[in-house]
Amino acid sequence: MYRRLLLAADLNYLSDLRDSKLSEYQSVTQLDMNWFIKYFRYQSLKYTSDLIVVNNDLADAVKPLILNRFFV
């Protein structure tokens, strides 16, 4: 449960970066995405997939990065 809340907070942070319009969403959050993928590298795919839906606003942006990491 703690990790679920932690991920929700991370996704909200990424959402804030996207909404800030300081730059394109992907370039602003590239380092955050790299950290995100590394942090959850050892989580199961099912667990990660369950967490992704915590924030639907970012699901489309984050899920492909997660899936690419595990399936490429």
38 vs 57: CA distance, rounded Å:
21
Confidence of residue 23 (pLDDT cuts 50, 70, 90): very low
> What angle is formed at CA 67 by the lines to CA 65 and CA 8, rounded to 5 degrees?
65
Please determine, for residue 2, whether its predicted confidence score (pLDDT) is greater than 50: no
The burial class, CB within 10 Å (0-12 / 13-18 / 19+), for 32 is middle
Look-up of token digits 């795919």: 45
Please determine, for residue 7, whether its predicted confidence score (pLDDT) is greater than 50: yes
**Nearest 5°: phi and psi at 33?**
-65, -40
Token digits of residue 70: 């595990």
Confidence of residue 72 (pLDDT cuts 50, 70, 90): very low
Overall pTM surpassing 0.85 (yes/no): no
28-54 pLDDT, tens digit each: 445 556 556 555 554 444 444 444 444
48 vs 16: CA distance, rounded Å:
21
Please determine, for residue 16, whether its predicted confidence score (pLDDT) is greater than 50: yes
